[in-house]
Structure 1
Amino acid sequence: MLQTLVLDLLLTLAYGVVGIALMGVGYSLVDLATPGRLNQLIWNERNRNAALLLTSNVLSVGTIVVAAIIASEDNFLVGLTGATLYGFLGLVIMAAAFLLLDLATPGRLGEILVDPEPHPAVWVTAAVHLAAGAIIAAAIS
Structure 2
Amino acid sequence: MYDLITVSSLALEPGFGGNVVRGIGAIALYAVVGLLLMLVGFYAIDLTTPGKLNEMVRAGSPNAVVITAAGLLSMAFIVVVAIYNAAGKLTEGLLLALIFGLVGVIVQVLAVRVLEWATRINIGAILRADQFTPASLVVASAHLGLGLVVAVAIS
Q: Give the alignment's TM-score, normalised by structure 2.
A: 0.77
Write the distance in 2 (CA, Å) between the matches of 1:90 and 1:139. 9
Match of 1:101 among 115, 121, 134: 115
Give the percent of matched residue pairs that are identical in Structure 1 and Structure 2: 34
Write the distance in 2 (CA, Å) between the matches of 1:120 and 1:97. 21
Aligned to 1:66: 80
Aligned to 1:121: 135
How many equivalent pairs are there? 140
Seen in structure 2, the aligned counterparts of structure 1 residues 79 and 57 have a Cα distance that, compared at 3 Å, is farther
Match of 1:76 among 70, 90, 105: 90
Q: Give the alignment's TM-score, normalised by structure 1.
A: 0.83
Aligned to 1:29: 44
Question: Quick one: which amino acid aligns to residue 134 of structure 2?
Answer: P
Q: Is the 8 A contact 2:78 2:104 kept in 1?
A: yes
Match of 1:2 among 1, 14, 17: 17
Write the distance in 1 (CA, Å) between the matches of 2:120 and 2:82. 36
Question: Quick one: which amino acid aligns to residue 122 of structure 1?
Answer: S
Q: Is the 8 A contact 2:108 2:150 kept in 1?
A: no
The answer as to 2:64 corresponding to 1:50 is yes
Which ranges in structure 1 are unaligned for 5 or more consecutive residues? none
1:40: Cα distance to partner? 2.1
Q: Is the 8 A contact 2:78 2:101 kept in 1?
A: yes
Q: Is the 8 A contact 1:64 1:137 kept in 2?
A: yes
Match of 1:39 among 54, 63, 77: 54
Write the distance in 1 (CA, Å) between the matches of 2:147 and 2:116. 19
Match of 2:32 among 17, 21, 30: 17
Which ranges in structure 2 are unaligned for 5 or more consecutive residues? 1-15
Q: Is the 8 A contact 2:67 2:140 kept in 1?
A: yes
Question: Quick one: which amino acid aligns to residue 3 of structure 1?
Answer: G
RMSD: 2.0
Q: Is the 8 A contact 1:64 1:133 kept in 2?
A: yes
